[in-house]
A and B are shown apart, each in its own frame.
Chain A
Amino acid sequence: MEPVVSVRNLVNAFGTFRVHDQLCLEIMPGEIVGIVGGSGTGKSVLMRSILGLRRPQAGDIRVLGHDVYGSGPGPQQYWGVLFQKGALLSALTVRQNVELPIALHSDMPAATRRELAELKVRMTGLPVSALDKYPSELSGGMVKRAALARALAREPRILFLDEPTAGLDPIGATEFDKLVTYLQSSLNLTIVMVTHDVDSLFGICDRVAVLVDKKVVIGTLDELTQSQHPWIHDYFNDPRARRAQQMENTNGREH
């Protein structure tokens, strides 16, 4: 099976300080992968590099076989991205925001586009009344849902989520996790998420990529809990992580 995301020998540096050094990462189709790491280990930098927002000093990054920094067509129309603060365009309504990516790469008639945008918004559990509101009129949780609707608008095959549950209350966060797993299983998406939320990690991730020593260690939660590496060991055996794990074992995985 071809990996959906393949990062090879990535080097990212600020001046002489290397954040990533010969980092490699492969993500397979249909996986939900969490990216974790201590502060300053370059989680966001890694994500931005994969998304084509920060050209790395060296390395090869391919998403669905497209070279992200190559001259040919990029993978932009096959991915959806949910930014940490939603990043809805503030000058446009929710409807226009969701329609924008649809309009960009297709000549769909306006009526169809409109219906499709409404469908995506409904899928994310947002009331239809929110469609004609501006982002500034929505609550934090609603902005995230609207941004997710936009990320899903162009039928992406891979979804990138940057701290999807940050800033949501625990109930909102749990609902969001459920939504993500539901979408993943029904649309057969590959999902990559940067997260600090241990409940999300244990709740929905198949594998977790840990940024340590300027590289990535990737494995299932069971493997990582057994890891001998001090940071990984501490992170996954932290009391809060333990509790999240126990909760998950008693409830059973949701998908």
Chain B
Amino acid sequence: MENAFLNADRDTDSVTVSLKGDWVFGNVQDLESALADVDASGASAVTFQCGGLQNIDIAGAWVLFRKSQNFETTGCDTDFRGFKAAHFKFLKNVTQAGGSSIATDHEAAPRVPRQRAQDALESLGKAATSGLQDIGFIAMTILQGITKPSKLAVRETVRQVYQTGVQAIPIISLISFLMGVVVAYQGANQLAKFGADIFVVDLVTISILREMGVIMAAIMVAGRSGSAFAASLGVMKLNEELDALRVMGLNPNQVLVAPRLIGLIIALPLLTVFADLAGLAGGLFLSVTLLDISAVQFIDRAANSADLTTLFVGLVKAPVFAFLIGAVGTLRGLQVTSSAEQLGRLTTTAVVQAIALIIAADAVFTIIFIRLGI
């Protein structure tokens, strides 16, 4: 048998393959098919001879070596003869570097469905335990932050309240004001059909106080601060800043993580109050300008329809939402280990998960309040 790259001669139980031409990177595909044609079935030994070989590089040597390994697994002895030192140096490199990866090629058996199910269950279990660990870690961090406050941590907490709370007041007020306008307008359109325009006030007051105010505030904070937590902690981790704190004898959980969590738990209820007020103002604004409801009427009606419980039902959610946003943001930030690309991905994850958790938690709250009859 003969082709452009080799001659194969068959004796009774041995095959001699003499190579020729250029065994180089550009020819790898042809080399593989040339070697595939070599039939060594029933032979006990294969000898590769240098013969008329012009050039060989690592890619060519690799193809040759892999073929020889294939022969070995079928029970043939293989032997290399007459290779010049320059050629053989490549081959030797390949033999030393390639041994283990060949073994793994054979080990990678196709996954059977049962194995897949097992893997899925295993990863589910792992996610559950790591989730529990994370919750424990965050709870411990907050507890330590409260019980062992250092001067540094207190200052950082104040800074966080300022950044996540005070600085967010304008945008959250604006958004809630607009929400109040929208709810009032949609409500007025429907209620006018029944001549019940005045109930717009009840609609706005109750929906803003119970749901919209706190949800709007929480979603804005998740976008503003949840991402900022993940990004800032992630960058600090990449930059070895957390290690730098540790070698100074500071615990980064106490001086960075706990202040962020506690700061947010303080800030979000306050922001919710602003969101509630702005939302009501939005409803008032629309009622006065588009509906024939005066400001006095609106305020009077609002005071009748809502009591302290309505306000409390909205406000009690705020610390829980704050905890969720803070926990997801800081945990994702601390998970950054290697690269800027990972940092971006985890920051996005933090925001998406925080918002999803807020909505889910709100649903749970609704069910609880229904059960309690509030």
Contacts and interface: CB of A to CB of B under 8 A. Distances in A.
A77 B235 CA distance: 26
A104 B248 contact: yes
A87 B246 contact: no
B241 A52 contact: no
B243 interface: yes
Nearest to B159: A91
A105 B250 CA distance: 11
A76 interface: yes
A83 to B, nearest CB: 4
A47 B59 CA distance: 39
A64 interface: no
Nearest to A51: B247
B248 to A, nearest CB: 5
Nearest to A92: B241
A88 B236 CA distance: 9
Interface in A10-66: 48, 51-53
Contacts of A53: 243, 246-247
Contact of B247 (A79, A88, A89, A105): A79
B115 interface: no
B336 to A, nearest CB: 14
A101 B245 CA distance: 9
Q: Which of A83, A86, A87, A88 has the most CB of B within 10 A?
A: A87
Nearest to B249: A76
A90 interface: yes
A76 B232 CA distance: 25
Nearest to B150: A104
Interface in B139-168: none
Nearest to B238: A85
A74 B251 CA distance: 13
Interface in B234-282: 235-236, 239-241, 243-250
Nearest to A89: B241
A104 B247 contact: no
B235 A81 contact: no
Contacts of B232: 91
Contacts of B235: 90
B236 A84 contact: no
B241 A104 contact: no
A83 B250 contact: no
B244 A81 contact: yes
Contacts of A74: 249
A88 B244 CA distance: 8
B239 A90 contact: yes
A100 interface: yes
B243 A101 contact: no
Contacts of B236: 89-90
Contacts of A85: 239-240
Given A87-B240, A89-B241, A90-B235, A81 B247 contact: yes
B248 A84 contact: no
B243 A83 contact: yes
Contacts of B249: 74, 76-77, 104-105
A84 B240 CA distance: 8
A15 to B, nearest CB: 15
Interface of A: 48, 51-53, 74, 76-77, 79, 81, 83-91, 100-101, 104-105
Given A74-B249, A81-B244, A87-B241, 7 more contacts: A52-B246, A52-B247, A81-B247, A83-B240, A89-B244, A89-B245, A105-B249
Interface of B: 232, 235-236, 239-241, 243-250
25 contacts: A48-B243, A51-B243, A52-B246, A52-B247, A74-B249, A76-B247, A76-B248, A77-B249, A83-B240, A83-B243, A83-B244, A87-B240, A87-B241, A87-B244, A88-B241, A88-B244, A89-B245, A90-B235, A90-B236, A90-B241, A100-B248, A104-B248, A104-B249, A104-B250, A105-B249
What are the 8 A-B residue pairs with the smallest beta carbon separation, nearest first? A76-B249, A87-B240, A87-B244, A83-B240, A81-B247, A101-B248, A51-B247, A87-B241
